[in-house]
Structure 1
Amino acid sequence: MNSSQTVKSQSILVIGAGELGMPVLRNLARKAKDHQGATISVLLRAATIESNDPVKRREVAEIRELGIEIVTGDILAASISELAAIFAPFDTVIGCAGFSAGLDAPMKLAKAALEANLKRYFPWQFGVDFDVIGRGSPQDLFDAQIDVRELLRAQDKTDWVVISTGMFTSFLFEPIFEVVDLEKNVVKALGSLNTEVTLTTPDDIGALTAEVVFAQPTIRNEIVYLAGDTVTYGEVAETLQTVLDRPFTKAEWTVPQLKAELAQDPDNHIMKYRAVFAEGRGVAWPKRDSFNARNGIKVETAEEWMRENLRS
């Protein structure tokens, strides 16, 4: 860790307030109270701020109650220079917009961060380890993330931090992912029953991101690994049996099988994710080596998540 430059993270802008953005904002606002002069802002589209959707209205009200300043901007509509002008007043920008912003958004935001001469930039890389997966994986979105890493590493004006989280815990159980079928009591292992996956909840990612942002000495120019749990698909099936007290059938979706399915439907993003996770590279790391484990920070395990969310 290179800590010759101490970034105090006084003024922080978070891009987006969705599934990950809200937990990040809540935890930053809480931590900022202990750091004199620290301010938290969030970049939202005008349509979100003015929305009549009850969920969005609740979120905007919560953001205001937390004392977070709202900055209006649209990362899709704005040019790189327009985004740079929005970013420029801040010391630190944290990208929480996700892939919903499109394939070009990660590079556009990174270029804007550099043009704004930020002290520190946290790109949207909350997920797998793109360096280990490498270029040309079944999920072409990941190549765009490698491009961002190369851009950030090739310069020395703006410090960067990448937070690797593995898969969001809840996503493993999403019906659309088809790995866990709670109606038919089947776990379809990606790759094999021994393939591992690291899982972390957005709430834990939010809390740990706030810890990373305010950590001393300052964390800069490195990848920080989080892990709520690292489990095999076989262990997921065993734990489901214990938690739900009913038998689960275990099946395997092999890499050749998943790649053949993807070849039939090459634009299917869920199939791309399945194939990448089945390959097992860069999608799991030992929990004991994680930032949370090394710092003794309690996080939610896969079993705890199941007990809390699946026993209805």
Structure 2
Amino acid sequence: MDIEPIQTVCDRVREQVRKTVVGQDAALDLMLVALLSEGHVLLEGVPGTAKTLLAQSFARSVNLDFGRIQFTPDLMPGDVLGTNLFNFQTSDFKLTKGPVFTQILLADEINRTPPKTQAALLQAMHERAVTIDGATHPLGDDFMVIATQNPIEQQGTYPLPEAQLDRFLFKHILDYPARDEERAIVARHGHRTVMPDLADFGLEAVADAAALADIRKVIAGLRLSDELIDYIVDIVRATREHESLEFGASPRSANMIATAARALAAMQGRDYVIPDDVKFIALPALRHRVVLSPGAEIEGLAADAVIRQVLDQIPAPR
């Protein structure tokens, strides 16, 4: 497979998702990048900004199994992973799989459950496998978590641990739609108050697991110059030295940015990465991996502003 079919597949996925979702193009592009680079996405936004509809439509368009977990304060790790139950007829234990055994998993309102249950996804997100009673069960190369969370300022939320956040390739903030987009939403969905049936919109699967595997092989071989490797490493290391940050980004984030930049380049029809790819990826890839210093919080600085300062300070290769 060459580069041109990759761009075509991505364009067709966008076309299908836009049958149901109005706007949110940036979120859709990041989800595509994450899928092609084997990453996970955290979507943050107030209720009613189409987070769930976007995830469902995306899974349907790429013909992958879709599962959903509604995270609540009383959810337990076994409710996510599954458990071994004793079968009295056969006198042995049988695994009852939890909802994590799928391909695209919507972890809805993930920050409304305590950290103990959030941690049930740590191994799944990093290793694409889960261990239950000492036995490891693979989840497959297409396993992807699309998690949603409400803004942390809302009642009944728990902050995600740093180890959990570091496993997300991207954190994207969903804003309210523009007026023309909101009008289009009402025109399209204003005759119902419940979640629309995707079948009513004629969504078609325009890719499958085999095609995605071929695309990932091509992306892994895309050119990333030594200068761009230095650029990525310098950006990540600069977050650890910035006076406004108490903790900077992890070494894992540099690997993730490099992989995601390759995927973005392929989506745009190029077999090589350019600095603009890295700049586009850097903000959603780093905003959840840094921790502001107490002084920066008192001054009202935001992580996004600090990361933009870092990007301005590090000269991009020519």
* Length-normalised TM-score, structure 1: 0.31
Identify the structure with bigger relative contact order (alpha carbons < 8 Å, sequence gap 6+): 2
